[in-house]
Structure 1
Amino acid sequence: MPRHYDPDNMPTIKDKKDLLFPIYLPLKIFDNEDYDCRTPEEWISLGLEPGSHDRKPVPGKALLPTDDVFGHEDPKNPKLIYQWIDVGVLDYDKETKLYLVHKTDNGMVRNEEGRPILNGGITPEGRAPLLPCQYWVPRVCLLFLAEDPRVFAQRVVSADNLRKKTQALLLYHLYVDCMPTDGLNSISEKSLQEMSLLAMHIPKLRKEEKRILDCMCCLEKEVRLDYERTMNKINFDRIVTSKPEMFSYVTLPDKEEEKVPEKGMGHSEAVGIQHGYGTSCL
């Protein structure tokens, strides 16, 4: 879905109201289904009336393009305008988790021949091709009139906030990954040797010592790279924290509190784990 910014009021680094960079992640993957008060099947079944075998469209509002031609040909066209439009919900696809909606005409849902659309538009011949006014939409872009609009608004806001945070953290990790490693103190050879010896002391690995040794070189490169990245991450976090106004567009990850064990590991337990014997469950 295209975003329309005011050219005279573009976001800047000093502004903290919105992201400086365009949002490219789809909103539907951040939708929290816990906000829903019914299952998709229950929503669709609201179109069934007592004593009738024909399922009618369920009334709702969907975020759809106003131009149905470009809306199908190029949904991301920057010239498109999206609005919340009255629709009738016809069907639900379990595989794609999308709802089939039909724009209403004076509150009515009609096909090209002017007849009411029943049972999701499925006939004995199968489902007819989509009409220009029909779209498959995710749940976060569909408000059923039978649900609380305030809860739905919270659902959309929650998904949008999670999307912004996710994109900001992706950019954060990109910044760290792009930092040069020249001149950094790499991990010492002594530490690498100690890790290798501890790993090879495990009985299960001793049986495949030759194959493990062949992979050791690649593992050492990975350890070196991870060590250098960690050093860059520490420096990057320190600089961003020391100058929050300059780097206001950078979002740092939430710090997780380390859980302190109730008791330390004894010498005998450490030796047992080192040799692959495990600890006692008594």
Structure 2
Amino acid sequence: MPRHQDPDNMPTIEQRRDPLFPIYLPLQIFDNEEYDCRTPNEWLLLGVEPGSQDRKPIPGKALLPTDDILGHEDPKSHDLIYQWTRVGVLDYDKKTKLYLVHKTDERGMVRDADWMPILNGGMTPQGRASLLPCQYWVPRVHLLFFAEDPHVFAQRVVSANNLRKKTQALLLYNLYVDCMPVDGLQSIDERSLAKMKQLAIVTSNLRKECRVLNCLNALEKEVSLDYERTMNKISFDRVVTSKPQTFSYVTLPEKEEEKVPERGM
């Protein structure tokens, strides 16, 4: 779970702690919905018995904080402990793609404050009441239905976590390259840049457009900056590759193999 960063207790590179940098990206944005065997509506229909108009909670487990008060006030607190808890799934929000879950009691029952069964997600003709302390809106990757294969769900969580690690590592890598100074670097050849400009306005109509000519200076600066960044990237990759133990916290992007076309260029 992402936590608040403590600027007074940040790990140093020399400590070689794992992870060196705190997790700040939520896991649900990397969730692959292809792992799901049912749609959200189909999951909710499991709580409807034949001949009944009421929808009961669907049993499952959710990753929830043990302290319900602090869990609602500050879910990123370092004092919170998260664990997989038995819940009843009440409802689903299509806009946020979150499930409403309710912690079960010691008997495994889902009851409201008046000890009455919660039906139809807690919706009444007057609407839904305010959330109880034991109720949470959770993403699908934090919710395991008892009616699904737990091995497939574990693969789903591992896949999302690996993709999050890779994305965060690439974000840090690009940040390192962007922060490298460009003063003193070899600039792009003026003849090459002039040829690019000539090819860009080769159409006669474009040469007459004042707006295009005014944008050329901005485009020229962008091309020069991209060239200098590429030079920094090459130098950075060479240094990291030559000293892998020193820069063990840096993840280089994977090189994509160029596909040779079957015909033509």
Match of 1:141 in 2: 142
The residue identity in structure 2 corresponding to 1:26 is P
- Map 1:57-76; keep pairs closer than 5 Å: 57-76=57-76
Q: Deviations over 1:158-201 (max 9, x none)?
A: 11111011000000000000001111100021111100001111
Q: 1:250 offset after TM fit, Å?
A: 0.6
The residue identity in structure 2 corresponding to 1:171 is L
Match of 1:112 in 2: 113
Contact in 2 for aligned 1:14/1:248 (Cα 8 Å): no
Contact in 1 for aligned 2:170/2:251 (Cα 8 Å): yes
Match of 1:33 in 2: 33
- Map 1:169-184; keep pairs closer than 5 Å: 169-184=170-185
Match of 2:133 in 1: 132
Distance 1:92 1:223 in 2: 48
Distance 1:35 1:52 in 2: 30
Match of 1:240 in 2: 240
Match of 1:269 in 2: none
Larger Rg: 1 or 2?
1
The residue identity in structure 1 corresponding to 2:142 is C
Distance 2:231 2:144 in 1: 47
How does the TM-score come out when normalised to structure 1?
0.87
Distance 2:163 2:26 in 1: 11
Match of 2:257 in 1: 257
Contact in 2 for aligned 1:101/1:137 (Cα 8 Å): yes
Q: SS state of the match for residue 221, structure 1?
A: helix
Distance 1:2 1:234 in 2: 33
Same amino acid, percent of matched pairs: 76
Match of 1:121 in 2: 122
Q: CA RMSD in A?
A: 2.0
- Map 1:154-233; keep pairs closer than 5 Å: 154-203=155-204, 205-208=206-209, 210-233=210-233
Distance 1:251 1:31 in 2: 22
Q: Deviations over 1:72-106 (max 9, x none)?
A: 11111110111100000000000000000000012
From the superposition, tell whether residues 128 and 229 of structure 1 become closer, same or farther in structure 2 (CA, over 3 Å). Answer: same
How does the TM-score come out when normalised to structure 2?
0.92
Distance 1:212 1:264 in 2: 33
Distance 2:2 2:187 in 1: 45
Unaligned runs of 5+ in 1: 5-9, 266-282
> Which 4+ stretches in 1 moved above 6 angstroms?
14-17
Q: 1:13 offset after TM fit, Å?
A: 5.4
Count of residue pairs brought into register by the alignment: 259
Q: 1:61 offset after TM fit, Å?
A: 0.3
Distance 1:254 1:203 in 2: 42
Q: 1:67 offset after TM fit, Å?
A: 0.7
From the superposition, tell whether residues 204 and 141 of structure 1 become closer, same or farther in structure 2 (CA, over 3 Å). Answer: farther
The residue identity in structure 1 corresponding to 2:24 is Y
